[in-house]
Structure 1
Amino acid sequence: MEPVPAVNGPDLTARLVDEAARLLLEHGPAGLSLRKLAASVGVSTMPVYTLFGDKQGLLAAMHREGFRRLGAALGAVPRTDDPLADVIALGVAYRRAALASPHLYGLMFGRMAPEFSPAADDRAAADATYQPLVEAVARCQRAGVFTGDEPHRIALHLWAVSHGMVNLELNGQLPDVGAPEEAYLEALGYAGMPFLS
């Protein structure tokens, strides 16, 4: 007989969050409930209700976990003496994080659950994952690699291209232009060209 997982164990929480995201993607908001989630994972409803409280709590946990994973992936990118290479490395880490948690990505950046609205603290934590890109662009500007001294507009442009490419790939809508990773890197390169000094 399998041991009962700890109610507050991180492994169980991660399993529940990932399975909830899968259920949401496959069945929509109406197909996601705490009871269905418990049945799908093979646990009683008690740990699910203990961890999340209700459906809104579950959606909030999914949103937080998605951005926690993204923040960890971006935070793991080492800072080097080449600021442009660092911008590219952040873009690669962004794509990898999205591909590693595609079900969560839809909730983080889409309207998969229209009834869900993240709390102010959760929105702030999500916004913080954007800062490494802004800082890397600012380093490029200080080094004379990018023009200007206002990094936010350039960062937004680069993120929009990255986000768009990732969405196309996750939704199976990327045109047949070769290997997806190569197409992604090429798009990032083209996105940065207008800003090169």
Structure 2
Amino acid sequence: MARRYHHGDLRTALLEHAERTVAEDGVDALSLRELARDAGVSHAAPRRHFRDRNDLLDALALTGFERLGAALRAVRVDGSFTDQLAMFAEAYVRFSVANPELLHLMWARKHARDDVGAAAREACAAPIAIIVDARAQGQVVDGDVERIGLSVFALVHGIAGLAAGGVLPEDQVPDAIATGVADLVDGLRPRE
């Protein structure tokens, strides 16, 4: 059942309707005209806030990255480098499982707006900071932090995708994170 827009912030209401549509029916089901109908406004009203469908998708991706960043910043960072990476991985997987279609939208397409890329970098800033700290303490090989971060992200995003898609059963996620992070950290350890 469509929820009607009555007053307040139309842009926010449209984004909420759009996110619900994406979550329930996928990105392909999203159209500005249908969004307007569902919100109970004229078909031209969404264009006051979004130039076109791609602009709306970029705005959804931006809000997704902002929420992901908030979830990752909320992680209590303590313990070993391995423990810290595992905590970030768990938070990322929780976000992914709760928002699989949104996560796909966030990462699966090139976004035209620069603020989306900036939000993605900001979302990943907290995990990158622990890699920088670990490298400064000699726990991680010298090298480009962005390259190392990409390896960490590939592992975590892969586990998250498998979990969100139901390929990796929920009860196996903690072990997959622990094993994957431990193997990765062991490979990043400096060699004598």
Query: If the TM-score is normalised by the length of the shorter chain, which range does it land in?
Result: 0.7 to 0.9
C-alpha distance 117-186 of structure 1, shift in aligned 2 (>3 A): same
Matched residue type, 1:105: L
* Aligned residue among 104, 113, 121 for 2:115: 121
Detail structure 1 runs of 4+ shifted over 6 Å in the superposition.
none
How many matched pairs? 186
**Partner AA of 1:55 in structure 2:** R
Q: Which residue is 1:7 aligned to? A: 9
Equivalent in the alignment of 1:61: 59
Contact 2:163 2:170 in 1 (8 A): no
CA distance in 2, matches of 1:171, 1:140: 32
For residues 92-139 of structure 1, the C-alpha deviation after alignment (integer angstroms, 9 at most, x for no partner) is 12112222221211111114xxxx633223222222322222211111
- CA drift of 1:14 comes to 4.8
Shift, 1:68, TM fit:
0.8
SS at match of 1:44: coil
Q: What secondary structure sits across from 2:49 in the alignment?
A: helix
TM-score, normalised with respect to structure 1: 0.77
Contact 1:138 1:149 (8 Å CA) reproduced: no
| Distance change >3 Å, CA 24–CA 196, structure 1 → 2 | same
**What TM-score do you get using the length of structure 2 for normalisation?**
0.79
Deviation string for 1:40-88 (max 9, x for gaps)? x453246534433431221111111111111111121234364443222
RMSD, aligned α-carbons: 2.8
Residue 44 of structure 1 pairs with residue 41 of structure 2: yes
Q: Please say if 1:184 is aligned against 2:185.
A: no
Structure 2 equivalent of residue 70 of structure 1: 68
Question: Identity of counterpart residues, as a percentage?
Answer: 24
Cα distance, 1:181 vs. partner?
Answer: 3.1
